[in-house]
Copies of this chain bind each other. A is one copy, B any other.
Amino acid sequence: MRIITAALDLFGEHGVNGTSLQMIADALGVTKAAVYHQYPAKDDIVVAAIEVELAKVEAALDAAEAEESPPRARALVLAQVIDLAVERRTMVSAVQHDPVVVRLLAHHEPFRQLMARLSAVLTGPDPTVDRRVRAAMVSAALGGAVTQPLVADLDDEALARHLLTLAEQLLALPG
């Protein structure tokens, strides 16, 4: 678990390919071999790290899907996901687009289903093309906006508040 924490920080800063097992071991003050004892291969560390983060998204989805009203479900998920992204700005944005992560996730069925659930909540029950593009934009914007220099000076609370308002506004369909 300490390995996962250290790995996520390093992945965020250097990317997965840019993070060696030596770096992870150094961050923990142990040797590479000690790390290998817990995870037989580097990919296993990556998968475990992603799972930890996605578990939080899954919890948010579970709560949201218990809601009756789609707009209310959407609001719940947005608030949670935004908090997660804002809290760990660098890591979320970097890992989300990392080619290694993308490849692992594309082949990982549980993750694909999770993303499908997230998309469904964001688009609502009637996923027109317009709503799908909106949902895609919001997904990308939440993960990506948090690292923009433009908003680097905003504290977490303020950034999260603005993002939530604007994401809601973009998803609401006065189009």
Listed in ascending order, the chain A residues whose CB lies under 8 Å from chain B are 13-15, 17-18, 93-94, 96-100, 102, 115, 119, 123, 129-130, 132-141, 143-145, 148-151, 154, 158-159, 162-163, 165-167, 169-170, 175
Contact = CB atoms under 8 A, between A and B. Distances in A.
A123 B13 CA distance: 28
Contacts of A18: 17, 99-100
A81 to B, nearest CB: 14
Contacts of A96: 97
30 contacts: A15-B15, A15-B17, A15-B99, A17-B17, A18-B99, A94-B99, A97-B98, A115-B149, A119-B149, A123-B150, A129-B158, A132-B150, A133-B154, A133-B166, A135-B148, A135-B150, A136-B150, A137-B141, A137-B163, A137-B166, A137-B170, A139-B144, A140-B143, A140-B144, A140-B148, A141-B141, A141-B145, A169-B170, A169-B175, A170-B170
